[in-house]
Structure 1
Amino acid sequence: MRRAAVCLALLLCLLWTGAQGEDGGGTGKKEGEFDIQGAHDQSSSQTQMRTDIWAELKKLRDMAIEHRIKIQRLEQDNTATQVRLTASESKNAVLETKMSSSEKEVEEVKRENAAFESRMSSSEKEVEEVKRENADLLARVTASEKKSTAFESRMSSSEKEVEELQRENADRPQVAFSAGLTNAGAVGPFTTATTLKFSKVFTNIGQAYNPTTGIFTAPVRGVYYFRFNAWETRLTWTSIELFHNDKRIMVISDLHDGTGHVSASSAMVLQLEKGDVVYIVMPSSFGVYDDVFNRIIFSGFLLFPQ
Structure 2
Amino acid sequence: QTKLTFFFFSVQATELTSLGTRLTATESKTSDLEKENADLQTRLNSSESRIDQLETENAEKPKVAFYTALTDAGNLGPYNTDITLKYSKVFTNIGNAYNPSTGFFTAPVKGVYNLQFTVFGYHAGNIGVDVYKNNQRIMANWERNDNNYVPEYFTKSLVLELTAGDEIHLVLPSGCSIYDSSDNYSTFSGSLLFTL
TM-score normalized by the length of structure 1:
0.48
One-letter amino acid of the structure 1 residue matched with residue 122 of structure 2: T
Q: Compute the displacement of 1:247 (Å).
A: 2.1
Q: Deviations over 1:129-183 (max 9, x none)?
A: xxxxxxxxxxxxx9xx89xx5xx94x76555444323211211221111110000
Counterpart check, 1:266 vs 2:156: yes
- 2:171 aligned to which of 277, 281, 285: 281
Q: Compute the displacement of 1:206 (Å).
A: 1.2
Q: Compute the displacement of 1:246 (Å).
A: 2.1
- 1:223 aligned to which of 99, 106, 112: 112
- The 8 Å contact of residues 242 and 278 in structure 1, kept in 2 or not, is answered as yes
Residues 172, 186 of structure 1: alpha-carbon distance in 2 compared, 3 angstrom cutoff = same
- Compare the two structures and name the one with the higher helix fraction: 1
The equivalent residue for 1:237 is: 126
Gaps of 5+ in 2: 1-32
- The 8 Å contact of residues 195 and 279 in structure 1, kept in 2 or not, is answered as yes
Aligned length, in residue pairs: 161
Q: Deviations over 1:15-63 (max 9, x none)?
A: xxxxxxxxxxxxxxxxxxxxxxxxxxxxxxxxxxxxxxxxxxxxxxxxx
The equivalent residue for 1:302 is: 192
One-letter amino acid of the structure 2 residue matched with residue 229 of structure 1: T
- 1:180 aligned to which of 69, 92, 97: 69
Q: Compute the displacement of 1:249 (Å).
A: 1.9
Q: Deviations over 1:181-227 (max 9, x none)?
A: 00010011111111100000001111111100000111111111111
The one of the two structures with greater contact order (alpha-carbon pairs below 8 A, sep at least 6) is 2
- Compare the two structures and name the one with the higher strand fraction: 2
- The 8 Å contact of residues 219 and 275 in structure 1, kept in 2 or not, is answered as yes
RMSD over aligned CA atoms reads 2.4
Q: Deviations over 1:53-90 (max 9, x none)?
A: xxxxxxxxxxxxxxxxxxxxxxxxxxxxxxxxxxxxxx
- 2:183 aligned to which of 276, 290, 293: 293
**What is the percent sequence identity of the aligned residues?**
42
- The 8 Å contact of residues 198 and 214 in structure 1, kept in 2 or not, is answered as yes
- 1:256 aligned to which of 145, 150, 164: 145
Q: Distance in 2 between matches of 1:262 and 1:156?
A: 59
- The 8 Å contact of residues 252 and 265 in structure 1, kept in 2 or not, is answered as no
Match of 1:287, SS?
Answer: strand
Q: Distance in 2 between matches of 1:268 and 1:158?
A: 38
Q: Distance in 2 between matches of 1:255 and 1:290?
A: 18
- 1:211 aligned to which of 100, 107, 128: 100
One-letter amino acid of the structure 1 residue matched with residue 158 of structure 2: M
- 1:192 aligned to which of 59, 74, 81: 81
Q: Distance in 2 between matches of 1:195 and 1:250?
A: 14
Q: Which has the larger radius of gyration?
A: 1
The equivalent residue for 2:26 is: none
TM-score normalized by the length of structure 2:
0.74
